[in-house]
Amino acid sequence: MKCYYHHQADAVALCKSCNRAVCPECAADVHPGTACKGRCESDVADLNTIIERSKTAYTKTGQAYRRSGVFTLIIGLLFVALGLLPLLVNENGGALFMAPIGAVFLLSSFFSFRSGKQITEVK
Ligand SMILES: [Zn+2]
Ligand SMILES: [Zn+2]
């Protein structure tokens, strides 16, 4: 493959932005990737920024889901404990209605954890 700009020179890389083959003289190293020198450098830099940002966005969303998962897990356990503890202490069972509420929280906690896991695995 020959350089897009110099048809006699061998290409060493492809520009990340326009996909043209470039020789060492035309290649600008924009880590990670190569750009046409003085032509696509800023485009590739922008591209890298976007890719980098979307990566951290995924991680952050995953973390947010996991954090809300932990939060609802604690609330859920609290409600279940509040609902069931009086049963153990005395038998009036007045707070038993709290146990299903706790179960709902535990369920939503489970889904938060699962969504967080899926999002993190996407990247
Ligand atoms: Zn280019
Ligand atoms: Zn060239």
> Whose atoms come closest to the Cα of 25: which ligand?
2
Please give the model's pTM, rounded to 2 decimal places. Answer: 0.54
ω into residue 32 within 30 of 0, thus cis?
A: yes
Q: For residue range 12-43, what is the model confidence (pLDDT) as tens digits?
A: 999 999 999 999 999 999 988 999 999 999 99
| Distance linking the first and last C-alpha atoms of the chain | 32
Residue identified by tokens 């990247």 is 123
What confidence score (pLDDT) does residue 87 get? Answer: 67
Amino acid at 79: F
Weakly modelled stretches of the chain, pLDDT under 50: none
Q: In angstroms, what is the span from residue 35 Cα to ligand 1's centroid?
A: 5
Q: In angstroms, what is the span from residue 3 Cα to ligand 2's centroid?
A: 5
The helix/strand/coil state of 3 is coil
The helix/strand/coil state of 123 is coil
> Whose atoms come closest to the Cα of 30: which ligand?
1
